[in-house]
Amino acid sequence: MTNPLLATWDTPFGLTPFDKISDEDFTPAVEIALASHKAEIDAIAGSGEPASFANTIEALEAVGRDLDRVLSAFYTVAGADSNPAREALQRDFSPVLAAHFSEVSGNKALFARVAAVWEARDELDLSEEQARVLMLTHRGFVRSGAALEGEQEVRIKDIKGRLAVLGTEFTQNLLADEREWFMPLSENDLAGLPDFVIAAARAAGEEKGADGPVVTLSRSIIVPFLQFSTRRDLRETAYKAWGARGANGGETDNRAITAEILALRSERAQLLGYENFAQYKLETEMAKTPDAVRDLLMAVWEPAKAQANSDAEKLTAMMHKDGVNGDLEPWDWRFYSERRRKELHDLDEAELKPYFQLDRMIDASFDCATRLFGLQFKPLDVPLYHEDCRAWEVTRDGEHVAVFIGDYFARGSKRSGAWCSAMRSQAKFPEVQAPIVINVCNFAKGTPALLSYDDARTLFHEFGHALHQMLSNVTYESVSGTSVARDFVELPSQLYEHWLEVPEVLAKFATHAETGKPMPAELLEKVLGAATYDMGFSTVEYVASALVDLEFHDGDVPADPMARQTEILAGLGMPKAISMRHATPHFAHVFSGDGYSSGYYSYMWSEVMDADAFEAFEEAGGAFDPERAAALEANILSTGGSRDAGELYVAFRGRLPGVEALLKGRGLAA
């Protein structure tokens, strides 16, 4: 019987046939696909023909299709619907895949052919995109260690394999801590909680098999609990559990793993001739150097810290007025900040939340894409990997553009956070393939499902990534969609968040869950007026994480990352009542893989651009200005990584941005 992962998929739009795949299919499929990919690579490397762009660079673009399909299916379910079998497979696959791709990038005969094409590049009459693909391919081989010899070559392969194992262990430890901990709530423990929080806690209790409501470590439950619970003792318990993820001792403790990861990254960078990992990592980004990153973060840190310290004094006074003496603690901030928000802006999260129905916010994100880019969304009835998932066909002018999948609800089998990935990326070579894009979120279930304003922004953010994938219009998959510099990839996603704040969008789609009536004009004004409320807090918790990430990788390797984290925060004058958004033992962006290592700053680097880019719309005909929308698609959303990120931004805006628009947008300008 043919393995369904390797069979021809006669499904609508070539979607993965999840209803026919079992966990037992993954191992044999990976083994066969790896062997096939190895044979394809060996054929390119061993060709008797002189190296050319077609038989070397384009040939590399065309191989590994079976492996891509198998790994896409596996890592989709491993991240969003894990189980013990899939976790075991992840642990098995990590070193095998690391060794395989190390062998490819370290293949001397293959690298010699790539290098030969690179040396002859000026004589090849390549298109701009082809020249870019050649440069990125050659650079990728060099940065992976293809030019190393002897012991150094062996060592870098060992390092890559070990890092793959450690990243998997880090992720699974974090998932285990998030999955296992929950706090049962008696009826007396519900004091202060609005109905939507109680409903989410009851739904979480059902999923955990508990006899009643529970607080879990899902952000969509624990944050509103910290905002509204009048039980300071329970807020403290929940907050400390949330902060202790990955640092609870025992088998799931990540602290030793982070130390080893940092040491191995530093050694890898030095083998490749760099002073440290930050310099290695940032070479390919827009920022280029650690100093450029540090300058940006510190330009934002000082005004944000000043605002946060000022806010802390006011929240402390409120707490003391309640008869609670002592210092404001991290489990107090959200509670008193929510009360202060209600006082300052007459804005109550409990009053606001019924206007942010999940389905209406999905409709809103689609409607904005229709108005900006002419996209249409039609629901699809197709087998997916979990009953919570939904799918749509995306078309424009009657032509198929993409398939979009949404997986929105939190569950114990899903890792925390929110993300976008392409199960299949857009390309025109070796054949035309339309993208299949998925957004994964962790919203609380409900009837109907209600979002916080922050949840709604997350939905728009991830859909901005999806648009970057869906509107991609390049030839080669290696530069398709979000295959761009890490500090550029967040531009489309963060820019799209701005459309949630457009008054006409909220007026149309922020309708009450029970009455169906649109949000009253005065409430809408309060929402928009409070958009920069508590921005000192949110900026400090983010920038602190970004600076810790940078300092970890730019300088001597810390023997004890937790001690170094404390030292860095003390040097910054971190406000006592605010914690890093992601403390080291649960900083998955940085330690589950190399993606955001030395790169967590990239959200803010992109925010400098997104604030400036949205100003371009406002300076023109408004949020839906057709000329600006066309320019955004032509210069950024459709181009992927086919050109330098800085060039693309200048092509859209006419210049590079400064930090002023960001500070203004966050309400931190002097």
- Supply the residues annotated as catalytic: 462
Contact of 444 with 410, CB cutoff 8 Å: yes
CB proximity list for 622: less than 8 A, separation 6 or greater: none
End-to-end CA distance of the chain: 69
Give DSSP secondary structure letters for 624-661.
Answer: T-HHHHHHHIIIIITTTTSS-HHHHHHHHHSS---SHH
Identify the CA nearest to 553 among candidates 338, 329, 293, 363: 293
Rounded CA gap, 86 and 155, in Å?
A: 29
Rounded CA gap, 644 and 295, in Å?
A: 22
Instruction: Give the alpha-carbon dihedral of 255, 261, 263, 269, to 10 degrees.
Output: -160
Rounded CA gap, 155 and 586, in Å?
A: 28
Contact of 645 with 488, CB cutoff 8 Å: yes
Question: Which class for 325: exposed (0-12), middle (13-18), buried (19 or more C-beta within 10 A)?
Answer: exposed
Please give the sequence-ordered ranges of beta strands (E in DSSP) within 82-213, or none if there are none.
182-184
Identify the CA nearest to 274 among candidates 422, 110, 445, 142: 142
Identify the CA nearest to 239 among candidates 183, 187, 295: 183
Rounded CA gap, 476 and 131, in Å?
A: 12
Rounded CA gap, 400 and 12, in Å?
A: 12
Dig out the tokens for 289 from the structure: 């150097």
Rounded CA gap, 499 and 493, in Å?
A: 11
User: Could you give the strand order of the β-sheet that contains 419-424, starting from the edge strand earlier in sequence?
Assistant: 376-380, 390-396, 399-409, 436-443, 419-424
Rounded CA gap, 492 and 465, in Å?
A: 6
CB proximity list for 189: less than 8 A, separation 6 or greater: 229, 231, 234
Contact of 204 with 196, CB cutoff 8 Å: no
